[in-house]
Structure 1
Amino acid sequence: MSDEDKRLINNALITRFYEAFNRLDAEAMSACYSDDVLFSDPVFGELRGAQAADMWRMLTSRAKDFSLTFDSVRADERTGGAHWVATYLFSQTGNTVVNDIQARFVFRDGKICEHHDHFDLWRWSRQALGFKGLLLGWTPMVQNAIRAQAQKGLKAFQAGR
């Protein structure tokens, strides 16, 4: 397979992933991942394999007032990226969050084997947590508490499946 063919396949894979996300179809999203995928973002930290798939299952099953846009999809034979914006109701506070995210991908054998989402956690916490996030969302203490709560929620979701 030529490098150009790989580029086209990887570009289509990113598009397929976000189209599935827009439909809240976690199974189709997970099908884009390798079995040993490494996912990371500022809220969940690093997740591997089934943990990453379960995170998407949890988030899509709980999504309220959700919308997603994506653009700037680009890929070569090994890596890729995209820009995406998710708007949703944060269930713990009822606040609307507009999360602006840059994603980076690594591909292997026609699948995403690494997915790294980058966004401003303080900006997210100001929206999600309101006044507390505004005042304290930049502190390591609050950011670590956000991560711990996300991990706790994921473990509870996995236990209930």
Structure 2
Amino acid sequence: MKDLIVCFYQAFHQLDANKMTSYYHKDVVFEDPAFGVLKAERARAMWKMLCESQKGKDFKIEATNITENSAHWEAFYTFSKTGRKVHNKIDARFEFKDGLIIKHTDDFNLHNWAKQAIGFKGLLLGGSGFFKKKLQSQTNYLLDKYMAEKKLPN
């Protein structure tokens, strides 16, 4: 399944969400600290939203240490709400069913991300459960809005 993970990140590097999500099983479950748990169509829509929002910007990823069920990847971009540069280091784990990704879990240090993306407030609050809950609420609100605008199934 290593080749599938390599293809997933190649598509991500090209910001090709349709290709990325073609490697997802119809019942995929995605999870990360920023969005929480997203299932099926919401997981696919999240990648579409993220890729669309980064086209023409300074977004870059590097995927390394790809194995049969994991990868390390790093994202470099400017956080649009603050204009601050972010270098996020993510460890991904994958599970497969029918030759496709059925579970994708991205793990990163949310406190470190918050310090970079938000600055002083992120330094103070980024490690708290309150911050994580608030961030997930905001990201899921944006995802709901995106899905409604694009008329995507929820």
TM-score, length basis structure 1: 0.90
1:154 aligns with 2:154: no
SS of equivalent to 1:73 = coil
CA deviation after TM superposition for structure 1 residue 138, in Å: 1.1
What residue ranges of structure 1 are gaps of 5+ in the alignment?
A: 1-9
- Supply the distance in 2 between the matched residues of 1:140 and 1:118 (Cα, whole angstroms): 16
Letter of the 1:121 counterpart:
L
- Supply the distance in 1 between the matched residues of 2:93 and 2:131 (Cα, whole angstroms): 26
Runs ≥4 residues deviating over 2 A: none
CA deviation after TM superposition for structure 1 residue 44, in Å: 0.3
SS of equivalent to 1:93 = coil
For residue 58 of structure 2, the aligned residue among 62, 65, 82 is: 65
Matching residue of 2:125: 136
CA deviation after TM superposition for structure 1 residue 107, in Å: 0.8
Matching residue of 1:117: 106
Matching residue of 1:4: none
1:83 aligns with 2:72: yes
CA deviation after TM superposition for structure 1 residue 50, in Å: 0.7
SS of equivalent to 1:147 = helix
- Supply the distance in 1 between the matched residues of 2:46 and 2:133 (Cα, whole angstroms): 18
**Cα shift readout 1:70-100 (whole Å, capped 9, x = no counterpart):** 111111xxxx000000111111111111110
Matching residue of 2:94: 105
RMSD: 0.7
- Supply the distance in 2 between the matched residues of 1:89 and 1:25 (Cα, whole angstroms): 19
**Cα shift readout 1:83-121 (whole Å, capped 9, x = no counterpart):** 000111111111111110000000111100000001001
Identity between Structure 1 and Structure 2 (%): 43
1:31 aligns with 2:22: yes
For residue 19 of structure 1, the aligned residue among 10, 21, 34 is: 10
CA deviation after TM superposition for structure 1 residue 151, in Å: 0.6
TM-score, length basis structure 2: 0.94
CA deviation after TM superposition for structure 1 residue 144, in Å: 1.2
How many residues align structurally? 148
What residue ranges of structure 2 are gaps of 5+ in the alignment?
A: none
Per mean C-alpha deviation after superposition, the further-off stretch among 54-63 and 87-96 is 87-96
For residue 32 of structure 2, the aligned residue among 29, 41, 58 is: 41
